Structure 1
Amino acid sequence: MQSQMGHTMETVIFMSYKFAGDKSYLTKVDLRVLMEKRVPRFSEKQEDPLAVDKITKDQDQSRDGKVDSQSFFLQIAGLTIACNDYFVVYMKQKGKK
């Protein structure tokens, strides 16, 4: 039986390919749509509305508007850090911490 962490990692990998479509990369638009559809609470509660754009810019080292899968996974890590405070509060409210 797969752990919750393993399932989560598998889901992140699957989502990167789903939103990239036939391309081998994600665009800033792809990333924004992914966040709005798959992590709506992050998009709604984010104090910095440009957080996704800033993280995308940091990961787009070639400055071509494309984020490859390795950079995407680094971006997910950055977004996780960016929304940590929100989720800590949310989990406390739900009594899960």
Structure 2
Amino acid sequence: MQLMIQTFHKYSGDEGDKYTLSRSELKNAQDKEAVDRVMGDLDANNDGEVDFTEFIILVGALTVACNDFFLEFNEKQEKKK
């Protein structure tokens, strides 16, 4: 949890509101097309910024997706045995 909080605030503090991520702050790690898709998906209230709650929704969704992937991967590995 501490790492997620630190990561969010590492990027959110670069400009403007230090408690939200702007498009340009997200661009530090993404290309423009990817940022537009991410912002569209994460910015639930359409204010042009991603707050910590919206960010955590992404983290949760990624965690579920990774869990599903590894469950499926493990099942395939067990079938090979």
TM range (shorter): 0.5 to 0.7
Match of 2:11 in 1: 19
Unaligned segments of structure 1, at least 5 residues: 1-8, 37-49
Taking every aligned residue pair, what percent have the same amino acid on both sides?
A: 34
Q: Which has the larger radius of gyration?
A: 2
RMSD value, Cα: 3.2
Match of 1:63 in 2: 46
Taking CA–CA contacts closer than 8 Å with sequence separation of 6 or more, which of the two structures ends up with the larger relative contact order?
A: 1
Q: Pick one of 34, 42, 58 that aligns with 1:75.
A: 58
| Runs of 4+ residues deviating >6 angstroms | none
- Deviation digits for residues 25-66 of structure 1 (CA, Å, limit 9, x no counterpart): 013453461xx6xxxxxxxxxxxxx6x925x42331221321
Task: Give the number of equivalent residue pairs.
Answer: 65
Indicate conservation of the 8 Å contact 1:60/1:67, yes or no: yes
Unaligned segments of structure 2, at least 5 residues: none
1:27–1:61: structure 2 CA closer, same or farther, 3 Å change rule?
Answer: same
1:19–1:78: structure 2 CA closer, same or farther, 3 Å change rule?
Answer: same
